[in-house]
Amino acid sequence: MSHLTQYEAREVLSMPAMQRDGWRLKRYAILAQGRALSQDVMDAAAKEAHHRLPLPGALEDENGNHGVGFQIVHFAETAVVSPVFYWQWGSVLANIHQMRARWERPTDFSDGKSEVVGCVWEMNIVIHETQSWMRNLLSDDGTVQARLARYMGDHA
């Protein structure tokens, strides 16, 4: 694979949200050509993300995280990569260190490159999630809980 090949969209799947110990994460899978979804890999990525996330905050907390975010599990050509993002301070998107698993052991996640935020396919989801957060949570249309429900139901 050449690093400067023509961009082609990849299949994006909306997966069930992870709700665990105060965290609510929307979840996505991206499938590169020739790669298939694996529930074992999705489960391992969710477990590792939960382990790495900070303690969840509350939507009402203006000084910390809101316990809300999203995870992408990208079944890419060279590895499985999984960026995880979460919202804090109302309008700031934070992330944990990128998780990466080699294809030889696709459920064994370690750290990816610290300076990497994500690839263009992952950034398409980040753009959607940022716009959804603005449209839903940073609005005055309904209660905070109603706005959160709309955000959680709005997928790329």
**What's the CA dihedral at 86, 92, 97, 98 to 10 degrees?**
70
Measured distance CA(81)–CA(99) in Å, rounded? 6
Does the residue 30 lie in any domain? yes
Compute the residue count for the chain: 156
Instruction: Please name which of 19, 24, 124, 25 lies closest in space to residue 74, comparing C-alpha atoms.
Output: 124
CB 82 within 8 A of CB 71: yes
Does the residue 140 lie in any domain? no
Q: How many CA atoms does the CB half-sphere of 16 hold within 13 Å?
A: 6
Indicate if the pLDDT at residue 113 is higher than 90: no
Does the residue 151 lie in any domain? no
From first CA to last CA, the distance across the chain in angstroms is 27
Q: Residue 22 belongs to what domain range?
A: 11-117
Does the residue 127 lie in any domain? no
Indicate if the pLDDT at residue 58 is higher than 60: yes
What is the arithmetic mean of pLDDT over 38-47?
Answer: 97
Q: What pLDDT band is residue 134 in, cutting at 50, 70 and 90?
A: very high
Indicate if the pLDDT at residue 154 is higher than 60: yes
Does the residue 112 lie in any domain? yes
Residue 113 belongs to domain with CATH number: 3.30.160
Measured distance CA(115)–CA(107) in Å, rounded? 22
Indicate if the pLDDT at residue 5 is higher than 90: no
Does the residue 126 lie in any domain? no
Tokens of 156: 């790329």
> What burial class does residue 127 get, using C-beta atoms within 10 Å of its C-beta: 0-12 exposed, 13-18 middle, 19+ buried?
exposed
Measured distance CA(100)–CA(82) in Å, rounded? 6
| Single-letter amino acid, residue 29 | A
Q: What pLDDT band is residue 61 in, cutting at 50, 70 and 90?
A: confident
Indicate if the pLDDT at residue 3 is higher than 80: no
Does the residue 36 lie in any domain? yes
138 vs 5, which has greater pLDDT?
A: 138
What's the confidence (pLDDT) of residue 1?
57
Domain count, the chain: 1
Does the residue 130 lie in any domain? no
